[in-house]
């Protein structure tokens, strides 16, 4: 059974709609943990559109489970990660105009650059995860770059227009997870997972962790975050 990490970025999105101080994503982190989440994820974007530096620093103080800092591979973010010391760093590509993280990180064409970036982070005792498409070349490259984890991008599976396409994308995730595990990488998965499509991903034995944000926060807006997290845990763990 995979563990569940909850991405709280969209609590901050609601707050930033008014540039005020509520709702507080750090309060959401505490409530998600109390409801049984195994980890909390924040994505500190270069443009600070949702999570702010203050949120990350406070989350570092209050999160008792596992704090995953999602970030782009920039010098600024590397400095912040080394200073705040999250429990894990996930490297994602970042484009200013995108609504959310669109594709996986290009590791295959940039193995040496990624290795150089990941080195100081892992030397500081912070494991690095690379968010990659379900593509064997990218998975093998992640191993070569020295990362300890990969997070397999489930977006294409989640957004598939029909069953045939969904099955094809699912197959890629299964094969990528198997390859990653056989190389000794630890495996997470996420993006676009919801209360309907998560079940099939749970069945992939190699996937240790699911990283889910939008669907949980959407449900939380209607039923409360405790219930939304518990509902997801029930799907994952039964």
Q: Give the list of residues 6+ apart from residue 72 with CB closer than 8 angstroms, or none.
A: 45, 46, 91, 92, 93, 94
206 is catalytic: no
| Cα gap 93→101, rounded to integer Å | 7
> Can residue 219 be called a binding residue for ligand PXP (CB under 6 A)?
no
| Cα gap 31→26, rounded to integer Å | 9
The footprint of ligand PXP on residues 96-135 (CB under 6 A) is 100-101, 131
The footprint of ligand PXP on residues 164-203 (CB under 6 A) is 190-193
User: Which residue's CB atom is positioned nearest to ligand PXP?
Assistant: 213
User: Which one of 10, 50, 153, 191 is the catalytic residue?
Assistant: 191
CB 10 within 8 A of CB 23: no
User: Which one of 33, 70, 94, 209 is the catalytic residue?
Assistant: 70
> Can residue 213 be called a binding residue for ligand PXP (CB under 6 A)?
yes
* Candidate list 107, 211, 220, 225; residue touching ligand PXP; CB under 6 A: 211
> Can residue 151 be called a binding residue for ligand PXP (CB under 6 A)?
yes
CB 25 within 8 A of CB 215: no
| Cα gap 39→107, rounded to integer Å | 25
* Candidate list 90, 94, 138, 233; residue touching ligand PXP; CB under 6 A: 90
Residue 43: CB minimum distance to ligand PXP, A: 5
Helix, strand or coil, per DSSP, at residue 66:
coil
| Cα gap 4→160, rounded to integer Å | 23
User: Which one of 43, 50, 153, 209 is the catalytic residue?
Assistant: 43
- Chain residues in the site for ligand PXP (CB under 6 A): 7, 9, 43, 70, 90, 92, 100-101, 131, 151, 190-193, 211-215
Active site residues: 43, 70, 191
């Amino acid at each position: 059974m995979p563990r569940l990490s909850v991405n709280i970025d969209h609590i901050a999105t609601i707050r930033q709609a008014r540039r005020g101080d509520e709702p507080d994503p750090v309060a959401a982190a505490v409530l998600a943990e109390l409801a049984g989440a195994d980890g909390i994820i924040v994505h500190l974007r270069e443009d600070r559109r949702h999570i702010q530096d203050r949120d990350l620093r406070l989350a570092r103080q209050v999160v008792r489970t596992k704090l995953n800092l999602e970030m782009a591979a920039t010098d600024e973010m590397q400095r912040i990660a080394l200073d705040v010391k999250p429990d894990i760093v996930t490297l994602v590509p970042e484009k200013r105009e995108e609504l959310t993280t669109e594709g996986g990180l290009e590791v295959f064409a940039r193995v040496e650059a990624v290795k150089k970036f990941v080195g100081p982070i892992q030397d500081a005792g912070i494991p690095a995860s690379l968010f990659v498409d379900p593509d064997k070349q990218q998975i093998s490259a992640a191993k070569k770059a020295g990362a300890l984890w990969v997070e397999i991008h489930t977006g294409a599976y989640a957004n598939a227009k029909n069953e045939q396409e969904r099955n094809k994308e699912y197959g890629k995730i299964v094969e990528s997870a198997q390859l990653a595990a056989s190389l000794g990488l630890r495996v997470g998965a996420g993006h676009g997972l919801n209360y309907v499509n998560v079940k099939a991903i749970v069945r992939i034995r190699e996937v240790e962790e699911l990283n889910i944000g939008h669907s949980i926060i959407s449900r939380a807006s209607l039923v409360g975050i405790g219930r939304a997290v518990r509902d997801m845990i029930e799907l994952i763990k039964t």
